[in-house]
Amino acid sequence: MITIISGTNRVGSRTRIIAEHYRNLLKARGEAHQFITLEDLPLDFAFTYFGSQQSDDYKTWISSTIGGADKFVFVAPEYNGSYPGILKMFIDSIHPSLLRGKKSALVGVADGRGGNLRGLDQLSGAFHYLGIMVLPKHVIISGVGKLIQDNQLTDENVLGALEVQCAEFIKM
């Protein structure tokens, strides 16, 4: 089971469009998958995200979306030269035992030129610490504002890079 995580709670994010495209790639290949977006986090998340403070609903959600997956696709936007704080909080809310030994593929999304490569390196560092294997082939999406039309990703190069990563990740 692969869980795709759209790594921001910003309403109207381009990250979500890319993450939904990834969902379609997995669907087209018949891969079992789930999709979550950090927009789904509870409104009081910032004050309830540590283990003992979590609601039963939150624990159940994490248990099925994270505990029930053996692979994760993280789609992470670049915010101030890194991945979003809400994504770090989300990771911090998960018991490490639900992550250890699992596999991940990373996609960076930025309006600027960096494609969140820096953020993906930082995310990789945390994942290595947690014992999550990281597919070496990141997809870096720079200048994303110009690559999306009518809420669809249209750039052939990026579409191709996502296809290649998805195929490799399924085999990983």
Rule CB under 6 A: which residues touch ligand FMN?
Answer: 8, 10, 13-15, 77-81, 109-112, 114, 144
- Measured CA angle at 21 (ends 158, 141), to 5 deg: 30
C-beta of 99 vs 119, nearer to ligand FMN: 119
Kindly state the smallest distance separating residue 6's Cβ from ligand FMN, in Å.
8
Nearest residue relative to ligand FMN (C-beta): 112
3-state secondary structure of 127: helix
Kindly state the smallest distance separating residue 138's Cβ from ligand FMN, in Å.
15
Kindly state the smallest distance separating residue 109's Cβ from ligand FMN, in Å.
5
Other beta carbons within 10 angstroms of residue 129's beta carbon come to: 9
C-beta of 82 vs 93, nearer to ligand FMN: 82
Rg (CA), the chain: 15
Kindly state the smallest distance separating residue 91's Cβ from ligand FMN, in Å.
17
Q: Are 80 and 36 in contact (CB under 8 A)?
A: no
Cα distance between residue 57 and residue 73, in whole Å: 23
